[in-house]
Amino acid sequence: MGEAVGAARGSGTLRKILVPLALAQFICSFAGSNMNVMITDISTDLHTTVQGVQIAITLFLLVMAALMIPGGKLTDRWGRKRCFTIGLLIYGIGALMSAISPGLGVLILGNSIFEGVGTALLIPPVYILTTVLFSDVTSRARAFGIITGMGGVGAAAGPLIGGLITTAVSWRAAFVFKALIIGVIVWLSRDIVDPIEPDPTRPFDTLGAILSGAGLILVVTGVSAADNNLALMAILVVVGAAVLAMFFRHIRGRERRHEEPLLSTELFRNRTSNLGLVTQNVQWLILMGTAFVVSAYLQVVRGYNAIQTGVIFTAATGGILLSSLAAERLAKKYAQRTLIMAGFITTVVGVVVLLALVKGSPSAWAFAPGLLLIGLGVGVMLTPSVNVVQSAFPEKQQGEISGLSRCISNLGSSLGTAVAGTILVSNLTNRSYAASMTVLAIMGVIGLGAALFLPSRRAQPAVAVQR
């Protein structure tokens, strides 16, 4: 592997590798938020409701979260490059299916299932390759800054780009746009060489994959059902928690029998990594929750169209882009804990500003300051949170921790849309908007609390990765 990495560096391939990897993260994050501005267009065209579109968005994020751990594990067996390519192809097929969908069912199949499965296969290799190829803190911070920054920009720019395409052409054209970007990524990634040889004989924990996926799906589906049936919500959440308990019992049993589990329990014994995972979850919960709540509120309650709603989100996009571009410089000057704490403080202030607008100015532009603060805050802490988690483990565990890390982040995205979105769509009024934003502010405080317990010293990833 060392020779492959050295050759890659010698030929300048690393810089080229970052382009398709960053674009891949961009388009996957874009897919999680671009539908937010199409709510009224899709619901009218497909004869469905706001809740129906919310289900499609939440399921996409949930499928990603549920399959991200198995996807990360498969990289060891199939190889990083192969998983990346297969994921791109499945994603592209899903995007085209969504573009021609005659009803909500086909849209869910293409967008939520196919694109979700494709994302779960292609995202773990993005982070594994980055972690393995960039060993020192500066270069890794730069690489993660570009990739996570593109992810944040994709999530924040999704409403703007989706709004422009929807208004100029139709909402279906937005899915064609995604398929075209996937084609570009496939072409740009043709020269990527897997730095680690795959091991086809490595066992795969199928039962563990089923239990982990089923547990996460049941829990988030239960949360989404809260607006219609509280009893059903309680049953699904309890059953989901029980299935997840079975999953942990299962992987402990495999470890005791000296069999390789889907996920090593050792990953949960690292205090720093656990805290970093909490911050990742909350970051994406707030970002995606805000994107759905504000978009739905502006369109359904205040009557703004797709392009008007999308333009407002340029504030969040600009904020994430600015702070992400500064990731390398900030990493040299401040400890990762400091950056994550500053990010949460800024983000919570942004949410409070948005909350204060519930009875304020009727102009959609009044939402720009709050969205800008959220963008700046999330952008500041995306890179250090990922670096804290990925750098806490050696190279042999990068497949597992990458899958877990992306699972936790996407679980946050799906919970943000499910929790805040469910509160909003239960009764689309100023009061439900205020309740949704209040919940997001509380989650931001929880994230800040987790960041307080992170180590105050700067991380030493080069040591951690080689231990």
Q: For the chain, what are the domain ranges?
A: 13-192+262-466
CA angle, 215 then 295 then 118, to 5°: 40
Burial class (CB in 10 A: 0-12, 13-18, 19+), 466: exposed
Please tell me the pTM assigned to this model: 0.79
Amino acid (1-letter code) at residue 365: W
Query: If you ran DSSP here, which 8-state letter would residue 366 be given?
Result: G
Q: Cα 363 to the chain's mean position, in Å?
A: 30
Which residues touch 270 (CB under 8 Å, ≥6 apart)? 392, 393
Looking at 269-367, list the stretches that DSSP marks H as alpha helix, in order from N- to C-terminal side.
Answer: 271-296, 306-312, 314-325, 327-333, 336-356
Which residues touch 395 (CB under 8 Å, ≥6 apart)? 1, 131, 132, 196, 465, 466
Q: Looking at domain 13-192+262-466, which of 1.20.1250.20, 1.10.287.70, 2.160.10.10, 3.40.50.720 is its CATH number? A: 1.20.1250.20
Contact, 162 vs 441, CB < 8 A? no
Q: Output the tens digit of pLDDT for each of the chain's 467 residues.
A: 444 444 444 435 567 778 899 999 999 888 877 887 888 889 899 998 888 888 888 888 888 888 888 888 888 888 888 999 999 999 999 999 999 999 999 999 999 999 999 999 998 888 888 877 776 666 766 777 788 778 877 877 788 888 889 888 999 999 999 999 999 999 998 878 787 788 888 888 999 999 998 998 888 888 777 666 678 888 988 999 999 999 999 999 999 998 988 888 888 888 989 999 999 999 999 988 888 888 888 887 888 877 878 888 888 888 887 887 777 788 778 888 999 999 999 999 999 998 887 666 667 678 889 999 999 999 899 888 888 887 788 767 766 777 788 788 888 888 888 777 777 766 666 788 888 889 999 999 999 999 999 987 654 443 333 22
Contact, 414 vs 220, CB < 8 A? yes
